[in-house]
């Protein structure tokens, strides 16, 4: 097994200092899948770094096949911005742009920007009559070239801070067979985002909650990884050519932001190890406690907004199942006309599972209080 570590500069600061990321690669001598795992693209979402640390320790001492790419602390532009006692890192404090929304969907990007197009690619590989494996290999190279072009800073009209860091990461991930983007919620349980075409595979991930997202693009890494393949498949299918999407990409939510916990990281690590065993990275038997897995569509992942301001007391912990009509939160307000306090109880509009809640009880009208799964099904 060979270990390499590459520093990549992701931002030159005004004073000449630079922010950089470390890309660690474990290359086995035996062939196998390429697994890409990054963490902390949002500045406050820390737990994934500890999970990467444990995975690195594990594979430093256990045999595996293929290549493992680890990118902890994937976004120093985000994690180094903090205000008061908290990390201000969900979006760029200068521009408001969410750090997980400026990845590129090459299938929707102008040829002049990326130097090519999927239509041209399909034309070429079908003319050449390549098989699926060769198409896959060629397509990964095509994607790499697109991202390379995007990163060209000699073009004065390119490239924003967000687009730059996102494209660097996307390029690193573009020849991986499995991409795991480790995030967290605010105050949240564990859950993953899986695309419709990944639904069966997602069960192997063993996470208690899965949100099924459409095969569409909204700017995030998982989508940016699979969308070109979705487009490629569609294009080949329209020519009556069979093609299975050969990659998987997941956004994995590991609890609450601002926190790290080694014990939890062991369990998170275990789940990922089990998944990697299914994928063929390694063969080690790892003992599993089976737990039920719940699935719902993204459209059934609902946010409750505060209809009024006040002090919100959250009554239901993440991962809790509740029934329609159950009290989920209580907003305490002082009614100055009546000289007295009142409690606005927020009741469940439907049966559901509490997934994520706000990080503060200091609530203005219109803030998201919590997010719940509704119309969920259970895998077991």
Binding status of residue 8 toward its own copies by CB under 8 A: no
Out of 149, 277, 302, 321, point to the residue binding its own copies (CB under 8 A).
302
Please, what's the b/e burial string for 210-246 (b: 16 or more CB within 10 A of its CB; e: otherwise)?
A: bbbbebebbbbbbbbbbbbbbbbbebbeeeeeebebb
Query: Per CB under 8 A, which of residues 133..192 are in contact with its own copies?
Result: 153-154, 156-164, 186
Can residue 88 be called a binding residue for its own copies (CB under 8 A)? yes
User: How many Cα atoms are found within 13 Å in the side-chain-facing hemisphere of 195?
Assistant: 23
Nearer to its own copies, 56 or 145 (CB): 56
Closest CA to 350 of 369, 374, 376: 374
Task: Compose the 210-249 pattern: x for residues touching its own copies by CB under 8 A, - for all others.
Answer: ----------------------------------------
- Decide whether 204 or 332 has the Cβ nearer to its own copies: 332
Q: Is 146 exposed, middle or buried (0-12, 13-18, 19+ CB in 10 A)?
A: buried
| Alpha-carbon gap, residue 47 to 343, rounded angstroms | 35
CA dist 40 and 343 (Å) reads 37
Number of residues that bind its own copies (CB under 8 A): 99
Of 8-16, 226-234, 241-249, 280-288, which segment contacts its own copies by CB under 8 A? 8-16
Name the token pair of 325.
């009509």
Q: Name the residue nearer to its own copies (CB basis): 59 or 229.
A: 59
Residue 341 half-sphere exposure, CB side, CA atoms within 13 Å? 8
Based on the shown chain and the rule CB under 8 A, indicate whether residue 345 belongs to the binding site for its own copies. no
Among 8, 24, 241, 245, binds its own copies (CB under 8 A): 24
Closer by beta carbon to its own copies, 136 or else 166: 166
Please state the closest distance from residue 266 (CB atom) to its own copies, in A: 13
**Residue keyed to tokens 């990845």:** 103
Q: Least distance from C-beta 74 to its own copies, angstroms?
A: 9
- Which two three-digit tokens encode residue 7? 């520093």
């Amino acid at each position: 097994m060979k270990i390499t570590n590459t520093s990549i500069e992701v931002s030159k600061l005004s004073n000449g200092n630079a922010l950089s990321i470390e890309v660690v690669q474990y290359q086995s001598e035996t062939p196998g899948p390429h697994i890409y795992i990054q963490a902390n693209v949002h500045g406050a979402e820390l737990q994934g770094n500890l999970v990467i640390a444990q995975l690195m320790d594990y594979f430093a001492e256990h045999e595996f096949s293929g290549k493992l790419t680890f990118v902890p602390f994937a976004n120093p532009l985000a994690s180094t911005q903090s205000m008061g006692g908290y990390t201000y890192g969900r979006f760029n404090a200068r521009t408001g742009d969410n750090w997980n929304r400026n990845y590129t969907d090459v299938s929707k990007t102008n040829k002049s920007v990326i130097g090519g197009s999927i239509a041209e690619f399909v034309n070429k590989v079908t003319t050449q009559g390549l098989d699926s494996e060769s198409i896959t290999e060629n397509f990964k190279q095509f994607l790499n070239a697109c991202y390379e072009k995007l990163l060209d800073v000699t073009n004065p009209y390119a490239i924003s801070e967000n687009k730059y860091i996102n494209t660097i990461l996307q390029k690193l991930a573009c020849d991986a067979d499995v991409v795991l983007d480790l995030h967290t919620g605010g105050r949240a349980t564990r859950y993953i985002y899986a695309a419709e075409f990944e639904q069966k595979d997602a069960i192997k991930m063993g996470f208690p909650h899965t949100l099924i997202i459409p095969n569409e693009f909204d700017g995030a890494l998982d989508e940016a990884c699979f969308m070109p393949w979705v487009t490629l498949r569609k294009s080949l299918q329209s020519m009556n050519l069979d093609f299975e999407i050969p990659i998987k990409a997941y956004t994995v939510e590991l609890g609450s932001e601002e926190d790290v916990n080694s014990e939890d990281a062991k369990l998170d690590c275990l789940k990922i190890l089990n998944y990697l065993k299914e994928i063929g990275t390694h063969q080690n038997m790892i003992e599993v406690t089976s737990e039920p897995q719940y699935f719902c569509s993204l459209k059934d992942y609902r946010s409750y907004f505060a209809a009024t301001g006040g002090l919100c007391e959250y009554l239901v912990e993440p991962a809790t199942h509740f029934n329609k009509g159950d009290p989920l939160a209580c907003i305490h307000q002082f009614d100055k006309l009546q000289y007295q306090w009142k409690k606005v109880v927020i009741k469940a509009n439907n049966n559901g599972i509490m997934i994520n809640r706000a990080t503060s009880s200091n609530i203005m009208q219109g803030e998201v209080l919590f997010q719940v799964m509704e119309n969920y099904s259970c895998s077991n």
